[in-house]
Amino acid sequence: MTQKFDVVVIGAGPGGYVAAIKAAQLGLSTACIEKYTDKEGKLALGGTCLNVGCIPSKALLDSSWKFHEAQDGFAIHGINHAGVTMDVPAMVGRKANIVKGLTSGVATLFKANGVTSLQGHGKLLAGKKVEITKPDGSTEIIEAENVILAPGSRPIDIPPAPVDNNVIVDSTGALEFQAVPKRLGVIGAGVIGLELGSVWSRLGAEVTVLEALDTFLLAADTAVSKEALKTLTKQGLDIKLGARVTGSKVNGEEVVVNYTDKDGEKTITFDKLIVAVGRRPVTTDLLAADSGVNIDERGFIHVDDHCATTVPGVYAIGDVVRGMMLAHKASEEGIMVVERIKGHKTQMNYDLIPSVIYTHPEIAWVGKNEQQLKAEGVEVNVGTFPFAASGRAMAANDTGGFVKVIADAKTDRVLGVHVIGPSAAELVQQGAIGMEFGTSAEDLGMMVFSHPTLSEALHEAALAVNGGAIHIANRKKR
């Protein structure tokens, strides 16, 4: 007898597993299909984020930053030491243990909430039927009242630098180095490239980042991107803008990379090369020809503002639909879809999805940046506050960067919060909460912030919007 569920989710990443748990919590019979397995051949839930993305990269970032501080940052605190070394396999092993704990945690949550976990490759057929190809090659068909497609994304391959998983690796391979490469190349100065480049640079690698665009961090506020470029360069990342890779050749245990820039053709040799030029949706063999779901020429699934596809009762979320490829976007889309299945009119505010780069200093923003608002003809007032004037940042010896608050010149409503500095992700989230409720810069300025905290920098930046900052000299309003 064919199994039938109220909701079938294909993919157990941060969009899929959250959707499955929420559906079960709302009383819907729910199954979640996932095919990814770990090195031991066991089903590993959590998708790219938990297994080979957000979580493992942050583990390595934290470990490498602690090593960097032990080498270069403890003396100012009066902590004397000598001979600090890094055990790379131990660092990578710690990362693996964190991943295992979290992925097994998702399995526990499935069990606790009554989600049926099915292992295999899920494919949507006509009539909201789903075919599951199991690890042994056998197939099973289940039926659903509603289907949520959440297959995620994978790294983009580029012909000039084909990944061999040895010398040339993608972001997944860069998490598994067992030794620090002396010369490390990174293609792409986006979030992934900068984070992975930072990890291995802190551990001693000579890192060169080749970025095809002439502009650094195009999506960030110009003031933030300029500060980030200056800071990361000072930390040792050699970031070459306008450098388009045209070819590569692996010679034994090194790779020669050809690229062009404004001065012409050039070559550079690395011991390892990371290809981090972005990600593409995983829709291969996801949909039967007669499923009725439409995909564009880039492989993205067509959906409306509420993630509904062209087939009633079939939805798609996360990296396979329009918008930013972010785990938190996928999770909230999953919740929105399930609640709408239950008849609620839940919506998502796509204008307030925070972006974060976990370098040091952290880089984060929410809302619009100054160049976007100027292009739209919006008059704004801007307030900034440097962490160099923050008592808490000074006490922690972490004073690089600033907070920037942008408000509408006529209404004072906050339109964007941009941070580069310590705990940027947390401070931007405070801004996002306020912006969700239509906060003004004056509102933020009138709130009481505990002292001494890094959050006070957001408070002071908001005060500075209207020329009322206390702990810096105020600029004249524009």
Per-residue model confidence as pLDDT tens digits over 368-419:
999 999 999 999 999 999 999 999 999 999 999 999 999 999 999 999 999 9
Cβ atoms of 313 and 146 closer than 8 Å: yes
Per DSSP, the three-state class of 89 is helix
From the list 302, 306, 344, 451, the catalytic residue is 451
Angle between helices 54-72 and 191-202 (to 10 degrees): 40
Question: Average pLDDT over the chain, rounded to whole?
Answer: 97
Q: CA-CA distance, 174 to 201, in Å (whole number)?
A: 13
Q: CA-CA distance, 267 to 255, in Å (whole number)?
A: 10
Domains and CATH numbers, the chain: 4-155+280-350 (3.50.50.60), 168-277 (3.50.50.60), 361-465 (3.30.390.30)
pLDDT more than 70, % of the chain = 99
Q: Residue 122 annotated as binding?
A: yes
Nearest to 146 by CA among 300, 326, 14, 334: 334
Nearest to 256 by CA among 381, 168, 131, 194: 168
Q: CA-CA distance, 364 to 78, in Å (whole number)?
A: 31
- Which pLDDT value is given to residue 82? 86
Strand 30-34 and strand 116-119: the pairing is: parallel
Q: Residue 173 annotated as binding?
A: no
Nearest to 162 by CA among 250, 265, 259: 250
The tens digit of pLDDT for each residue in 168-223 reads 999 999 999 999 999 999 999 999 999 999 999 999 999 999 999 999 999 999 99
Q: Is the pLDDT reported for residue 90 higher than 70? A: yes
pLDDT more than 90, % of the chain = 97
Q: Residue 344 annotated as binding?
A: no
Residue 451 is a catalytic residue: yes
Q: CA-CA distance, 252 to 366, in Å (whole number)?
A: 45
User: Strand locations in 276-327, DSSP E?
Assistant: 279-281, 314-316
Q: Is the pLDDT reported for residue 1 higher than 80? A: no
Q: CA-CA distance, 47 to 315, in Å (whole number)?
A: 18
Nearest to 277 by CA among 365, 209, 333: 209
The tens digit of pLDDT for each residue in 99-116 reads 999 999 999 999 999 999
DSSP for 157-212, please give it.
Answer: P-TTS---SSSEE-TTGGG--SS--SEEEEE--SHHHHHHHHHHHHTT-EEEEEES
Stretch 248-260: mean pLDDT, rounded? 98
Q: CA-CA distance, 270 to 254, in Å (whole number)?
A: 6
**Edge-to-edge strands, sheet with 238-241:** 168-169, 272-275, 183-187, 206-211, 238-241
Instruction: Supply the pTM of this predicted model.
Output: 0.96
Q: Residue 211 annotated as binding?
A: yes
Nearest to 117 by CA among 55, 42, 40: 42
Residue 395 has, within 13 A of its CA and on its CB side, a CA count of: 7
- Which pLDDT value is given to residue 477? 55
Q: CA-CA distance, 195 to 234, in Å (whole number)?
A: 15
Q: Residue 325 annotated as binding?
A: yes
The tens digit of pLDDT for each residue in 418-450 reads 999 999 999 999 999 999 999 999 999 999 999
Place of tokens 């923003």: 365
- How far does CA 429 lie from the centroid of its chain? 15
Q: Residue 467 annotated as binding?
A: no
Burial 61-81 (b: 16+ CB within 10 A, else e): bbbbbebbbebeeeeeeeeee
Q: Residue 278 annotated as binding?
A: yes
Alpha-carbon torsion, ordered 196, 201, 207, 209, to 10 deg:
40
Distances (CA, A) of 104 to 9, 51, 100, 108: 18, 11, 6, 6
DSSP helix, strand, coil percent of the chain (3-state; round to 5): 35, 25, 40
Confidence of residue 476 (pLDDT cuts 50, 70, 90): low
The alpha carbons of the chain give a radius of gyration, in whole angstroms, of 24
The tens digit of pLDDT for each residue in 4-39 reads 999 999 999 999 999 999 999 999 999 999 999 999
